[in-house]
Amino acid sequence: VDEADLGRFWKRLVPADGQRAKAAATTPRVWLDGRVAASLDRSTAQIGAPAVWSAGYRGDGVKVAVLDTGADQSHPDLAGRVAAAKDFSGSSGTNDVFGHGTHVASIVGGSGAASGGSRQGVAPAARLLVGKVLGDDGFGSESQVIAGMEWAADQGADVVNMSLGSSGATDGTDPMSQALNDLSRRTGTLFVVAAGNEGEQGPRTVGSPGAADAALTVGAVDRDDSLAPFSSRGPRLGDDAVKPDVTAPGVGIVAARATGSAMGDPVDEHYTAASGTSMATPHVAGAAALLAQRHPDWTGAQLKDALISTAVTVHGQKVTEQGGGRIDVRAAGLGAVTATGTLVMGPFTSRDTEPVTSGVRYTNSSDEDVTLSLAVQLATEGGKAPAEGSARLGSDSVRVPAGSSAEVPLTVDPARAGQGKFYGYVTATTADGSVAAHTTLSLVVHGPTHRITVKTIDKDGEQVADLPTIWGAEGFVGYSDPAAAVAEVEEGVYQLNTSWTTSAEDGEELRHVVLPEVRVTKDMTVTLDARKTVPVEIRTPRPAEQRGIMSYQTYREIGGRSLTQGTMYFDIAKRLYISPTAKVTEGT
The catalytic residues are: 68, 100, 278
First-last CA distance in the chain: 37
The dihedral over CA atoms of 246, 249, 251, 257, expressed in degrees to the nearest 10, equals: -120
CA nearest neighbour of 77 among 49, 106, 103: 106
- Sequence-distant (6+) residues with CB within 8 A of 552 are 566, 567, 576
Q: Strand 253-256 relative to strand 38-39: parallel, antiparallel, unpaired?
A: parallel
What count of other Cβ atoms lies within 10 Å of the Cβ of residue 141?
A: 14
Work out the widest C-alpha separation in the chain, in whole angstroms. 88
114 phi and psi angles, rounded to 5 deg: -75, -10
Amino acid letter at 409? P
> CA–CA separation, 163 vs 1, rounded Å?
41
CA 227 to chain centre: 8
Helix, strand or coil, per DSSP, at residue 28: coil
| H/E stretch holding 550 | strand 550-558
β-pair type (216-221, 190-194): parallel
d(C-alpha 578, C-alpha 588), whole Å: 18
Looking at the DSSP bridge assignments, the partners of residue 397 are: 373
CA pair distance 257, 114, nearest whole angstrom? 11
Strand, coil or helix: 453? strand
Amino acid at 571: D
Task: Report the C-alpha gap between 295 and 297 in whole angstroms.
Answer: 5
For the beta sheet containing 127-132, the strands, ordered from the edge strand earlier in sequence to the opposite edge, are 82-87, 127-132, 63-68, 159-162, 190-194, 216-221, 246-249
Single-letter amino acid code for the residue at 396: D
Judge if the upstream peptide bond of residue 50 is cis by omega within 30 degrees of 0: no
